[in-house]
Structures are given as structure tokens and as C-alpha cells.
Amino acid sequence: MTDKKGQTAIAHTNIAFIKYWGKADPKLNLPTTSSLSLTLDEYYTKTRVEKATEDSLLINELPQDGKRVHQFLNILREEMGDFPPLRVISENRVPLSAGLASSASSFAALTAAVAKFNNWDLSLEELSRLARRGSGSATRSFFPGFAIWEKGTDDADSYAKEFKTPELPIALVVCKISGTVKKVSSSDGMRRAQTSPNYAAWVDESAQQLAEMKKALFSSDLERVGQLAEANALAMHDLNLTATDRRFTYFNQDTMKVLEQVKALRKEGYLAYATMDAGPNVKIITNQEQAPKIKAYLAERFRKIQFDIATPGPGISYE
């Protein structure tokens, strides 16, 4: 128990270069594959928890139904022992339209704030393990730069760790294609993707791609990093298209047009590789020198799309 009034934590979002796309255990959020991500500087969630009379959630000053947060707080109570009801006040600086998983930074910030509020003495890996029950991608948002979520075998050993690399001049050009809320949730998308006849092959390939990705990052080979990330993302989206249970796609026409331009950029000698998540937006992996040029190139061709440049970000912090 604590006599503190409240506690604030800040977590940045992350973008997976080797994706998490399927659950071995949906209740525990154990993944079928290990995944690797980059934490981003530009997008974050700042969450404050305060003692209250019942659990509640406010995001960007708007009251939310908060069922998922209430469920998650109860999981924390079961795991760590009881604590008083909390008012959760979240400031989300992950624009929905950026197509980045705000659930990653949200559940990481919430886990860290609750742990610190209750004076739990936990390592980042232990926090990551707890955050997994809220959202899988949140496991990776505790660490600066690159992180690997080792899939593990059970609840105890499935969590992320920092993956230290030489300093890399990496940057992402984030193409904000659509602001509409995604029509297939990531959990439902994963469930359907796992019915694809290609799913088992994707799981095997993903392990190889992860091994190669680690080597490419160690040797600062951004070209290879980009190739592997693009191949992994396209194969993930192929699972959605080939699902036998209600096949679907997150892509729209602009996604396809931007993907064509990514190829055109490469033909012109740019370092440019695409990755996409549970939405139509494209994130282009490049270096910090070329990012503004790629942004300008695309801005000229897509007047309605907005572009951001994102760079490696910090791990969890507290206020």
C-alpha cells in the first residue's frame, strides 16, 4: 500500500520490424513468434494514476468506457496483490492517423505508473511481462531503441528485453494515409490470419528473419534491415489476404500507391523499405540523411497524405 496521491509514467510507442501477428495463447497473450521493434521518439503516452473510489479512464480529457483497462488492472491485482481503485488519466500523443499502435505505449505507461504508485520493485523485464497481458506490443515499449520480445513458452518467460546495437542513423517516414479507426482489431486480425494455409510457414520464416535482422543491426546494414522488415511485413499482410476465415486486408488504394513509390524510390537509389501494421498507413525505413528528401518526394506526389519523420526514442520514464 502507498500513501502517494498519484504517479505518472511516460512510454513511447514502438514499430515492429519483425512482427507479432498471432497468439499461441490468447488469454495470456503468448505470441506464436518472437518480435523485434524500434521505440520512436515522436509518439508517446503519458499516464497518471490516482487513488479513487472506482477504476476509471480518461484519455485526452475524454472519459472512456475503460473496460479493457479495468480488466487489466484486475489482472495486475491478481498477479501482484490488491491495490485501491484508480483513476487513470492518459495523454496520448500517438495520433490515431499515424497508424502506430497506441496500445503499445498506453499499456506500457499504465503498467509502469501502477507499479511505481504501489512501490513494486520490478525490473523493466518484469514490467514488460505484466504489460503483455494488456497488449502484446506493449512489452517492447519499456526500452530505448531496439527491443526483442522473446515469445517464451509460458506466462513466466514471455517478455521483451532491450536489444543493444551500434548507434544507427535510422529514421522512419510515417505516411498518415487514413485517420479512420481500424475496422478489424488486431486480436481479430490475428485470429483470422492464423487460419491462413501459409501461417506455419510464416512462423518458421519469421524466426529466420529475426536471426538475420539481429546480424544486420549489429553490422549497421540498414539496407538489409529494411529488406528484412519489408519482407516480414508483406508476408504478415499476405496472411490476412489468404485467411480461410473471413480473409481481409488493412490496405487501401493509397497504401498500394505509396508501396509503388517506395519501389520507385529504391530505383532512384534511395534507401527506402516499407512496413505496415494493423491499418493502411505505411512507415518507410530509411536513414536520417535521406528521410527529409523522401518526405519531400512523397509530399509532392500525395497532396492529401501527411508525412512525419520519426527517430529512435527513449525507454520508460517517470514524473
Q: Rounded to an integer, what distance in angstroms lies between the CA atom of residue 11 and that of residue 241?
A: 33
- Distances in whole angstroms, Cα of residue 51 to Cα of each of 65, 114, 184, 246: 18, 10, 34, 44
Asked if 278 interacts with ligand PMV (CB under 6 A), we say yes
Q: For residue 71, give every residue at least 6 positions away whose Cβ sits within 8 Å of its Cβ, in sequence order, or none.
A: none
Return the residue matching grid coordinates 522512419.
172
Q: Rounded to an integer, what distance in angstroms lies between the CA atom of residue 310 and that of residue 40?
A: 6
Site for ligand PMV in 54-73 (CB under 6 A): none
Q: Which residue is nearest to ligand PMV (CB)?
A: 16
Query: 10 vs 101, which CB is nearer to ligand PMV?
Result: 101
Q: Rounded to an integer, what distance in angstroms lies between the CA atom of residue 50 and that of residue 56?
A: 10
Site for ligand PMV in 18-57 (CB under 6 A): 19-21, 35
**Residue 14, strand partner residues:** 39
Asked if 308 interacts with ligand PMV (CB under 6 A), we say no
Nearest distance from C-beta of residue 103 to ligand PMV, angstroms:
4
Asked if 135 interacts with ligand PMV (CB under 6 A), we say yes
Return the residue matching grid coordinates 497473450.
29
Query: 32 vs 103, which CB is nearer to ligand PMV?
Result: 103
Q: Rounded to an integer, what distance in angstroms lies between the CA atom of residue 50 and that of residue 85?
A: 8
Query: Which of 38, 104, 173, 243 touches ligand PMV by CB under 6 A?
Result: 104
Q: Rounded to an integer, what distance in angstroms lies between the CA atom of residue 228 and that of residue 144?
A: 21
Query: 66 vs 189, which CB is nearer to ligand PMV?
Result: 189
Binding track, positions 184-213, relative to ligand PMV; x by CB under 6 A:
--x---------------------------
Query: 55 vs 277, which CB is nearer to ligand PMV?
Result: 277
Residues in contact with ligand PMV by the rule CB under 6 A: 16, 19-21, 35, 101, 103-104, 135-137, 186, 277-278
